[in-house]
Chain A
Amino acid sequence: MGGVLIRPIILTVCIYLFLKFIVPILPHSAPLPSSLIFLYLMLVMSGSVLFATLSGESKDAFFQPILRFLTGESGGALSSARYLVLALFPLLVGWQTYGSTASSDAPPGENRTIHPAPPGEYTGLSNPVPKTPENIMYGKGLYASRCAPCHGNFDGKGFAASGFTPPPANFKDPTTIAMLQESYLFWRIKKGGVGLPVEGMPWKTAMPRWELEMSDEDIWKVIMGEYDGAGQKPRTWDESE
């Protein structure tokens, strides 16, 4: 009967170990932030409780050992462990409270909006430059000279990329420029990091304000070169585009 309680505990520990130590070593992966690990573990624990309480028998098998332990009915070594819990629990709460209130030099967790809403004047713009091979090539040339040092071969791994936090965008990733309309890129390239609204944290990006160095027409050409080079298509509402 104790298995009904032990199995979820083992499962939770295994999943924690998997998320903490196995996921980061998978190809093209990285360590997960604690907020996401916490979220997944909460799901596992909720699922365990739901499954255990489906019937009266399994509910009792799940909660009875906990109740017996807490009420001291288990006897033996567990009784001593109960006193240990009694002593450790307030300490744990105290430690948590201290951890959340003590002053620290670590910056707070951030929830930066990577793709904030563009200003109204940039919505609905369409690329006025004809999509010819020449224009695309010209755009790629501009990209190579202006963008590639940071954004690399459209993969966000330019030679200067390691100097920036957050790193330059990876255009080959299907969750970046493929999700956006061309007008959005036009705004981001033209106005750069300083043009971002507050939720986009303009102080967190080194993207230059290219309107100072490139004409609008050149920016549109860079956009075409970018999509072509990354093998992506911009978001449109017209299938023929």
Chain B
Amino acid sequence: MIDQGLHITNDGGRIAGRAALLAGCAALLAWIGMPDAVLAQEAATQAPTAYRDLPYVGSRNLVWIIAQLHLLLAGFVLGVPIFAWLCEVVGWKSGDKRYDKLAKEFTKLLTSSYATTALFGGILLFLLIGFYPKLMAYLTDIFFPSFLVYCGLFLVETATLYLYWYGWDAMSEGNGKKFHIFLGFLLNVFAFFIMIVPNSWATFQASPVVIAEGTDFERAWAATWNPTWWPVNIHRIIANVVLGGYICGAYAGIRYLSAKSAEERYHYDWMGYVGNFIGVFGLLPLPFAGYWLMREIYQYNQQMGITLMGGFLSWLFILQAMLIGVLFLGSNYYFWMGITHRIPGSEGQYRKPIMAMLIILLLCLAVWMTPHSLVASLEEAQKMGGTHHPLLGVFGVMSAKMTVSNLMVLVTFMSFIMYWRAGKEDTAGWAKVAKSVMGAVLVLAGLAVIVLGVWGYFVPAIIRINYFSTSQVAIVIFVMLTITPLTALLLKSAKTTTEMVWGRMPPRAGYSLVLNAVMVILLMTLMGYARSSSRVHWHVYGVMRDSSQYAFSPALGYAAALMALNTFLFCLLVAFIFWVATMGDKAKAAASAKAAPESGHIPAMAGGAPALDGPASDVIEGNRPV
């Protein structure tokens, strides 16, 4: 019994021990599992995170800076291949090796910027996912198919760029060259699609098209083909060419200023001219593309259109007028200096036409910069009868702005034509007739643009927008299409009286190229902000409201400061990239300079170019290198 009793006791103890062990395990599990349960409970009651912030800097500011830098880099990277490829084609067709060398130099800048662009794109994506998870989840839900397309495009673009750049020397002759040019073409095709795919995401936010039913692909396609997608695509592709051209011009300007040899000065003077020409070439249709974009925005949503053009963002368009004005003046100034410095003895001959063009540009700019509502003190406003001047207030509306922008385009085009014809004498028998026709076309076109502009005040807005403004643009295009071939035909038989001498531009020409590039960058930061801000407190206009602490439009001064910061950062970034990219060239140039030193050649930016401003006879003419 005792044994039994012991046995029973022992059994009881074993059972109690096991029970205690089980209870302990259960308690341990409960203790370990408790936080999960609490978290699960919290997760069940708490909504997913919609926003995150960054202390002191602010999530919006950081995204603003990174997005702007990415966009500017992308603009450069997508714009440069267009004219690099065109230069290569010109070089191939004409057999002029200078163009091939130039195309290669442009592409070198492109390859060095490409990785940085992708890097900033990656940073931007991480920041967006981190700071705006709800918005990104929504956009991913709609655009997932196009995300995949975008990744694929990036892969083929990168592979093509590698082949294009690294295969340049290997594919320089015969069929190899043809294949290389085909690669350049492909590069541009992929680049175009790389641009328009993300454009659809950004334009969707401003003018969304949301369909509730359909497959993923159908929803993505409907959202992609939104009302402002193509206007932005066209506007951006032209703007990218302008940005690329002017940045290459600025690069050439700086290299020109730091050039120590006549050969370098020759090359970079010429490269600066090509960069400025490309910039101007793109600048001429840009106002028309911008006008079309604004028209589409206005038609899509009156509120958004007025916010931009008449509401609190309208002041940005006055700043835009100033920047574009400086750009037009800077580009023309560079052309005019080209005439007076590269073509010896031409200054006296062209002084009067240059003055006339300058006066027209300044008058147009004065009209473009005149706001509808003026900044006035109380006393001044009382004298005017409000902030709208009874006489000059008429300059504040689109009819006037369109007229002067067309006239400025015409003047700039004529600057180029004058530059083209400078130092040449017509020998064709029909030259007099051709010049009379060109003069008549120009004068009549100018008058027609002005008449349509004035008439535009007296017709319904829709007539002005649909017919008058488009007619003004058509007239300017007609002038270009008439005068360009006529001039080309005249110049075919023309006699060169004064040979154009490269490498003789004064230092201020190099600085004006840099100024033009800075103006374009500022313009893109300004109008990028305007386009983005027109959504006001919406992430996706009318669909997804911005409920973050940053759901307000910053004051214009604050925004302007950030735009200036972005411009500064981008310039720093580009300077660094170009410095790294050309390090090898400089080392080579320094080594060859040691082998054959050129006496007395100090870079222009170091004060070594007073002779460049002197009379033609003082200037050491550069040999034309190939």
Contacts and interface: CB of A to CB of B under 8 A. Distances in A.
A58 B322 CA distance: 26
B394 A174 contact: yes
A15 to B, nearest CB: 10
A111 B373 contact: yes
Given A35-B375, A123-B303, A238-B462, A166 B387 contact: yes
Contacts of B355: 51
A167 B385 contact: yes
**Main secondary structure on chain B at its contact with chain A?**
helix
B391 A26 contact: yes
Contacts of B591: none
A204 to B, nearest CB: 10
B30 to A, nearest CB: 54
Given A54-B347, A116-B312, A120-B542, A28 B391 contact: yes
Contacts of A236: 460-462
A175 B396 contact: yes
A181 interface: yes
A50 interface: yes
Interface in A155-186: 165-167, 173-175, 178-179, 181, 183-184
Interface in A115-157: 115-120, 123-124
B583 interface: no
Interface in B33-73: none
A116 B310 contact: yes
Given A113-B314, A114-B373, A116-B311, A175 B391 contact: no
Contacts of B383: 30-31
Interface in B454-493: 457-458, 460-463, 466
Nearest to B340: A55
Interface in B571-626: 612-615
A183 B374 contact: no
B23 interface: no
Contacts of B337: 54
A199 interface: yes
Given A55-B341, A116-B310, A235 B304 contact: no
A39 B397 CA distance: 18
B392 A33 contact: no
Interface of A: 23, 26, 28-36, 39-40, 43-44, 46-47, 50-51, 53-57, 59-60, 106-120, 123-124, 165-167, 173-175, 178-179, 181, 183-184, 199, 233-239, 241
26 contacts: A26-B391, A30-B385, A32-B392, A34-B380, A35-B374, A36-B374, A46-B329, A54-B333, A54-B340, A56-B613, A59-B613, A107-B378, A110-B378, A112-B387, A113-B373, A118-B303, A123-B301, A124-B302, A165-B382, A174-B397, A175-B396, A175-B457, A235-B461, A237-B462, A239-B463, A241-B462
Closest CB pairs A-B (n = 8): A56-B613, A233-B460, A33-B376, A166-B386, A235-B461, A117-B307, A115-B310, A199-B312
